[in-house]
Structure 1
Amino acid sequence: MEVKLIECPRDAMQGIKEFIPTEVKAAYINAILKCNFDTVDFGSFVSPKVTPQMRDTADLLKQLDLNSSSKLLAIVANERGAEDAVQFDEITYLGFPFSISEKFQQRNTNSSIEESLHRVEAIQNLALKHKKQLVVYLSMGFGNPYGEHWDAELVIKWCERLYKDLGITIQALSDTIGCATTDSVDYLFKELIPAFPRVEFGAHMHTLRENAESMIQAAYNAGCRRFDGAIKGYGGCPMAKDDLTGNMPTEIMLHWFEKQGIVLPIDKNAFMNAMNESNNVFYAH
């Protein structure tokens, strides 16, 4: 399977408190769409009270130049958000943050894990009805900061249940707070990928820049071929802790893959333009 890179400007922007004008977001995402990423996580259909930065996602979509090979992904947190998202033909993927931490699930989507399973089922049914695919992110996939029980077998159990009970074939293990180790990354992907060959497993890592290459290498060598990133490592999960651990920097991923001789379809000139365009979004806020 070829490597898929998912660029996540939504994840990068959502924690910024000052509202970024829609046209500024659109200019940045349009620059990203020229780069040939497999998928762009561009926005979310969630309550504006929870994520006010993304309240303009529907308007943003109207300003995007979709003459691109990249597919669009939007995050939803419940059935109502999914009902909004599936109305747009331009969106290929819905993403749902499913936490294996009870406390984080409450904090992130205001529901218990069991309630979230029912949400996943309803959203999956909506997605299939509207010819879209659901991507489930397993938040706290590499550890738990709240003192709750966590081990790799717990992650594997939930991955199995999501696939066997609900038919979720794209699952991204998410290092929500940057606590993954190369050993935990290696172990989980080596266990999951052979056990569930019909599931596409991804790595959505929040990490410090100095740890980024070792995490990419561990995931890739363990068989992972789907990687999420954000230009310059901006962002992180605003629901997790007060201090954000940034996203996996896309430029570090590109550099690592190039060093390994792994050919990606990314347009380097377009990527440099997107890097420059990011200054208008992030340095201005």
Structure 2
Amino acid sequence: MYMKPIKIIECPRDAMQGWPKQIPTAVKVAYINSLLRVGFDTLDMGSFVSPKAIPQMADTAEVLSLINTADTHTKLLTIVANLRGAEAAMAFNSINYLGFPFSISPTFQLRNTNSTMQDSMERVAAIQQLCTTHQKQLVIYLSMGFGNPYGDTYNETVLLDWAAVMAQMGIGIISLADTVGLATADQVKQALEVLIPKYPQIEFGVHLHSAQSNRAAKLQAALDAGCQRFDGAIGGIGGCPMAQNDLIGNMDTSFMIDYFKQQQIPIAIEESVFEKSKVLSSQIFS
């Protein structure tokens, strides 16, 4: 039996950010309040980015001011793409983590954060310093972590080299992001089998966008490699709107929970509350 504790990071931000219909702030607040009581380790609930780029997330500050973080152990994460966004996030004591999408595809880094790889490294260093000062933690997502649709050079060495750079910068949590669902199960397993033993001071996770046809294989590959941090979104909704036209959805949280239960992996989920959250999700994303 797999006895290591599993962390599930629920990502309503990822589900909402590319949704074509504007979701009212009050609806987001009700949904996030429900999710906060499910038992997830962390909620990736919003982002401080340009409202021109991601208009759906323009009300993140308002949502944060309205949600109820009492009586929950779930921590909050918001995505930022530059120092200005990170500084805005510092105003909220309720935020535990800042997430920065660092693409190992130069083309996607320009598309997603309007910065070069060098500029992005400088941003990471500045945001890391800010987080240290304000007792928050920076989570680096190595996006396009298993390949990209742009023809940029990719191999396992590219991924491992960038992970080494982040380790040298003192990053404590790194999530390997299969941004457009290109990863094979073997890629996921091989990368984590190298990284987890090499950097025991770092918590490695996976953010696996995936089609139904190979999601079980990818999930099992990460488990086999010793991964304990898994991102998902209820219903498998989501995808990065800056990536390409055909979005590959997130790993469905319901599927992950069922899969972990079948494997007799202990998870701290309040199932009755989770079912209520699923109902809300189906009403929002319809």
- Calculate the TM-score normalised by the size of structure 1: 0.98
Distance 1:256 1:154 in 2: 31
Q: Which residue of 2 aligns with 1:88?
A: 92
Tell me if structure 2 keeps the 8 A contact 1:236–1:244.
yes
Shift of 1:210: 2.6
Q: Which residue of 2 aligns with 1:279?
A: 282
Q: Which amino acid aligns with 2:83?
A: E
Shift of 1:144: 1.7
Q: Which residue of 2 aligns with 1:127?
A: 131
Secondary structure at the aligned position of 1:227 is classed as: strand
Q: 1:237 aligns with which of 237, 240, 243?
A: 240
1:13 aligns with 2:36: no
Distance 2:152 2:78 in 1: 29
Tell me if structure 1 keeps the 8 A contact 2:80–2:98.
yes
Q: 2:216 aligns with which of 207, 213, 218?
A: 213
Distance 2:46 2:118 in 1: 26
Q: Which residue of 1 aligns with 2:144?
A: 140
Segments of structure 1 that go 5 or more residues without pairing to the other structure are none
Q: Which residue of 2 aligns with 1:159?
A: 163
Q: Which residue of 2 aligns with 1:28?
A: 31
Q: Which amino acid aligns with 1:267?
A: E
Q: Which residue of 1 aligns with 2:59?
A: 56
Q: 2:68 aligns with which of 65, 69, 76?
A: 65
Shift of 1:8: 0.1
Shift of 1:134: 0.2
RMSD of aligned Cα (Å): 0.7
Shift of 1:281: 1.3
Deviations 1:85-134 (A, max 9, x none): 01100000000000000000000000001100000000000001000000
Q: Which residue of 1 aligns with 2:172?
A: 169
Q: 1:39 aligns with which of 32, 39, 42?
A: 42
Tell me if structure 1 keeps the 8 A contact 2:5–2:266.
no
Tell me if structure 2 keeps the 8 A contact 1:209–1:249.
no
Runs of 4+ more than 3 Å apart = none
Tell me if structure 2 keeps the 8 A contact 1:236–1:246.
yes
Distance 1:42 1:210 in 2: 27
| Number of aligned positions between the proteins | 282
Secondary structure at the aligned position of 1:128 is classed as: helix
1:3 aligns with 2:6: yes
Deviations 1:207-245 (A, max 9, x none): 112321111100010111100000010011111110110
Distance 1:281 1:27 in 2: 11
Q: Which residue of 2 aligns with 1:181?
A: 184
Distance 2:191 2:24 in 1: 40
Segments of structure 2 that go 5 or more residues without pairing to the other structure are none
Q: Which amino acid aligns with 1:137?
A: Y
Distance 2:59 2:46 in 1: 8
